Amino acid sequence: MRIGITCYSSYGGSGVVATELGKNLSKKGHEVHFITSSVPFRLHSFEGQIYFHEVKVVTYPLFEHQPYALNLAAKMSEVIKYNKLDVLHVHYAIPHAISAYLAKQLNGGGVKIITTLHGTDITVVGSDPAFLPVTEFGIEQSDGVTSVSKALYESTMKEFNITRPIEVIHNFIDINEFYRRANPEMRKRIAPNGEKILVHISNFRPVKRVDEIVKLFARIQKVVPSKLMLIGDGPERGKAEKSCRDLGICDHTVFLGKQNAIPELLSVADLSVCASENESFGMTILEAMSCGVPVVAYKVGGIPEIIKDGKQGFMITDNDSDKFVESCVRILTNDDLHAKLAKSGVERAGSEFASDVIIPKYEAFYRKIVES
């Protein structure tokens, strides 16, 4: 098939999923055309059957704001026409599904539009209700819609008046990249005195509650000699760093900023912690699991679809911070429990979320929509 893919190409789970999907589809013989504003950050090498079409945003003295959605629609239209796309798969309803709709109209129909909902495209409506009709329109006008979790499917159905079916296709991981490797030198750099290592990875947006992670860790490290490795960057980083200073735990925390070597870093971690207020899926949880790192997280959104409580880690209900701390301490002080959770995580990542399991679901979905 000839498949176009549009996503936000900078840091972010949806961009990772879209790029890895394109790479996997090309390996399976499909022709893949990325239509994005910059090269997706996970697309580092030249891969056969993958083409990149840059969306350039025009500036003009009259334009107070750059018309990205229109430039995107124009580029999509061009790629649909000259590359004879069968499918245009957009990740994020706003504005991608709307631009795709316009591009399809410009070409007189033909191409099938598939929209994948990632979560924040739906929750953004909460911050500005004016987005509701346009998001709803984008979903309704798509030929096929997928959601990255059952939880997101349910919240979409609750929030919008959607009449078309939405298929749940979970996010996936490359288990040949995300596996645990021995890295004693790195471990020693982070925890020179043999401390346990906790890891938190996110884009440090308010929804991730990184400050809560720091506060929880301050309590954990009083009981278990440990270090907190924070990976990523974003608007809440300054607040989290200040909390470390206020709590007197700077010597126990390491802010690494944005990093590419995620599997290598996860390989030295003993526990992954997530305090997100909401998470439609939680890619970093799956990445941790696949690298044999047990997870403790608040039970929100799609996270319970990835981790089964007591099997690959612990799910904390009702924002119970005492229970969160207690669960972390339990895992960090019980080697047998730790080994059991870690093993189960690797197995579950491989059996339920590996690319080999999920990519065929996307291919089958594309076929169904193209033939409809």
Contacts with ligand GMT by CB under 6 A lie at 12-15, 17, 118-120, 148, 171, 203, 207, 278-283
| Closer residue to ligand GMT (CB): 199 or 249 | 199
We find the least distance from the C-beta atom of residue 248 to ligand GMT, in angstroms, to be 30
We find the least distance from the C-beta atom of residue 329 to ligand GMT, in angstroms, to be 26
| Closer residue to ligand GMT (CB): 156 or 226 | 156
| Closer residue to ligand GMT (CB): 83 or 131 | 131
| Closer residue to ligand GMT (CB): 169 or 329 | 169
According to DSSP, the β-strands at 226-231 and 144-147 are unpaired
| Closer residue to ligand GMT (CB): 22 or 282 | 282
- List of E strands, the chain: 2-6, 31-36, 50-54, 87-91, 112-117, 144-147, 166-168, 196-201, 226-231, 253-257, 271-274, 295-298, 313-316
We find the least distance from the C-beta atom of residue 105 to ligand GMT, in angstroms, to be 26
Strand order in the sheet with 295-298: 253-257, 226-231, 196-201, 271-274, 295-298, 313-316
Rounded CA separation 273/364 (Å): 35
- Tokens representing residue 292 in the block: 């044999």
| 267 close to 246: Cβ distance less than 8 angstroms | no
| Closer residue to ligand GMT (CB): 218 or 285 | 285
| 267 close to 182: Cβ distance less than 8 angstroms | yes
We find the least distance from the C-beta atom of residue 279 to ligand GMT, in angstroms, to be 4
| Closer residue to ligand GMT (CB): 218 or 297 | 297
- Of 51, 149, 89, nearest in space to 362 by CA: 89
We find the least distance from the C-beta atom of residue 202 to ligand GMT, in angstroms, to be 6
We find the least distance from the C-beta atom of residue 326 to ligand GMT, in angstroms, to be 25
How far is residue 83 from each of residues 28, 191, 207, 351, measured CA to CA in Å? 18, 52, 39, 36
- Tokens representing residue 298 in the block: 């608040």
We find the least distance from the C-beta atom of residue 259 to ligand GMT, in angstroms, to be 15
Rounded CA separation 132/283 (Å): 26
- Tokens representing residue 52 in the block: 């990149």
Rounded CA separation 245/224 (Å): 20
Rounded CA separation 201/304 (Å): 18
| 49 close to 29: Cβ distance less than 8 angstroms | yes
| Closer residue to ligand GMT (CB): 19 or 221 | 19
We find the least distance from the C-beta atom of residue 255 to ligand GMT, in angstroms, to be 18
Rounded CA separation 260/274 (Å): 19
Residue nearest to ligand GMT (CB): 13
- Tokens representing residue 243 in the block: 């909390």
